[in-house]
Amino acid sequence: MFKKILIANRGEVALRIIYACRELGIKTVAVYSEADENSLHVRFADEDVCIGPPRSADSYLNVPAVISAAEITGADAIHPGYGFLSESAYLAEVCEACHIKFIGPDPNVIRLMGDKARARRVMKKAGVPILPGSDGPIEGEEKALKIAKEIGYPVIVKATAGGGGRGMRVVRQASELSHAVKTAQREAEAAFGVGDVYIEKYVESPRHIEFQILGDQHGNVIHLGERECSIQRRHQKLIEESPSVALTDKIRRRMGSVVIDAAKAVRYTNAGTFEFLMDPEGRFYFMEANTRLQVEHPVTEMVTGIDIVKEQIRIAAGERLSVKQSEVTFTGHSIECRVNAEDPEMFTPSPGLIHVFSIPSGPGVRIETSAHSDCTISPYYDSMIAKVIVHGRDRTEAIARMRRTLEMSVVEGIKTTIPLHLRILKDPDFIAGKLSTAFMEQFLAKPRTTGGRLAEAV
């Protein structure tokens, strides 16, 4: 087992990784930017190294700085968390060259999944359902028109290097296609340095359903069920839950066996997520695979009782998975709300000093945060300041626990998205489980019944 792990991240995920290391008896090294000197991840790590100025590009994204910090402190592994360098095949390769274990998949698998058109081809070959579309990057206007005509409109043009919604265009008729391809290519080139795009049949108002998997270095792969992540705005997830009300046990078993086959086909190791679109008829299609720990991993931990971060560390150290598929059980229902330092009306960032920070605990409540009273939220990084995760015997109890937790939370000094979450948690469509990626747009267009005279009726 590792003796010392360097955590190449900040905020609540850096703390989450420290928890796992402490429980496993592994020493920790925090790295931090000048803006994070007083952060909790620095305080609770055994050692710490400043790796540069506040801007991410100069600190948390600086591979030589991260590697130097690992060399200086004698860390034998690096956990990248999520965001930042977590899906950098380059960091994983440099780690290999330096004899430092990268806690994540093999660099070649990271690179494969980073190319969405290639991932599509490989998944199709492994028997994973994909949407009709181009076999690879599209090669010219004529070919694009031919493929789109074959699959039928609407289609979606996506960047091969994309993900997270950048470089995407929905096209509803042939006359719009060539303009969409050109703008998507330009956007992709600017954002990722690779202008390749591919075409897929567009699914109207799908659900976003993703499967958590774990694979060890001995060829064992298990799945930990799904997360429903349809409630998002501008490709930022707001609320995630497990299980999804859209899956029957039969579909869950089918999708689970599909993702296990897919992971085995690419010799996937460590934690990973296979994302699917589910159409209103319940058919599912592979969208992309994320080769990192995800923000929403706690909802899976709550329903399975498996510590995904500890599993990641054990897997990277060469150990076998601690459970077999037949030993994975799913109990109750879990929901996560991401609390952002944002104006809940305008979604504009709201950094600054938090005077009072208090999110109550209670039965079935888990708080993941590095915020505390008298801490400062920096404008340099992501606006997520806390995750509230609840577990209940069923979805109704989970919703009730989330509501009472957020109702009794006090965050003073900055604006947060807590009021928005409370409104969603009272929405009839949310309560009925009528979710899709169009949920938030529809929700925000609804007349407001809270805050006014009609509020008494709610």
Would you call 234 a catalytic residue per the annotation? Answer: no
Residue 425's alpha-carbon distances to 229, 334, 340, 432, in angstroms, are 15, 14, 16, 11
Please choose, out of 75-83, 176-184, 201-209, 328-336, the segment that lies near ligand MV4 by the rule CB under 6 A: 201-209
What phi-psi label fits residue 167: left (phi over 0), alpha (psi between -120 and 50 degrees) or beta? left
Residue by residue, DSSP assigns 252-265 as HHHHHHHHHHHHHH
* 241 near ligand MV4, judged by CB under 6 A: no
Closer of 53 and 154 to ligand MV4 (Cβ): 154
Over the window 221 to 240, marking each residue x when it contacts ligand MV4 by CB under 6 A and - when it does not, the resulting string is: -----------x--x-----
Q: Which of residues 139-158 bind ligand MV4 (CB under 6 A)?
A: 156
* 180 near ligand MV4, judged by CB under 6 A: no
405 residue type, one letter = T
Residue by residue, DSSP assigns 161-173 as T--TTTTEEEE-S
Q: What CA–CA distance (Å, rounded) separates 33 from 42?
A: 10
Closer of 60 and 211 to ligand MV4 (Cβ): 211
Nearest to 332 by CA among 422, 231, 429, 401: 401
* 131 near ligand MV4, judged by CB under 6 A: yes
Closer of 44 and 192 to ligand MV4 (Cβ): 192
With CB under 6 A, what is the number of residues at the site for ligand MV4? Answer: 16
Coil, helix or strand for 57?
Answer: helix
Q: What CA–CA distance (Å, rounded) separates 39 from 405?
A: 25
Q: Which of residues 410-439 bind ligand MV4 (CB under 6 A)?
A: 437
Query: Nearest distance from residue 236's CB to ligand MV4, in Å?
Result: 9
Q: Of residues 16, 292, 401, 423, which has the active-site annotation?
A: 292
Query: Nearest distance from residue 1's CB to ligand MV4, in Å?
Result: 36
Q: Which of residues 341-370 bind ligand MV4 (CB under 6 A)?
A: none
Q: Which of residues 278-297 bind ligand MV4 (CB under 6 A)?
A: 287-288
Select from 20, 26, 277, 389 the one that contacts ligand MV4 (CB under 6 A). Answer: 277
Select from 10, 101, 120, 208 the one that contacts ligand MV4 (CB under 6 A). Answer: 208
183 residue type, one letter = T
Q: What CA–CA distance (Å, rounded) separates 200 from 126?
A: 19
Query: Nearest distance from residue 100's CB to ligand MV4, in Å?
Result: 31
Please choose, out of 55-63, 77-85, 199-207, 406-414, the segment that lies near ligand MV4 by the rule CB under 6 A: 199-207
Closer of 156 and 303 to ligand MV4 (Cβ): 156
- The two structure tokens encoding residue 290: 């994320």
Task: Give how far the C-alpha of residue 209 lies from the chain's centroid of Cα atoms, to the nearest Å.
Answer: 12
* 163 near ligand MV4, judged by CB under 6 A: yes
- Give the side-chain half-sphere CA count within 13 A for 239: 28
- Give the side-chain half-sphere CA count within 13 A for 84: 31
Q: What CA–CA distance (Å, rounded) separates 55 from 381?
A: 8
Q: Which residues bind ligand MV4 (CB under 6 A)?
A: 131, 156, 163, 165, 200-203, 206, 208, 232, 235, 277, 287-288, 437
Active site residues: 292
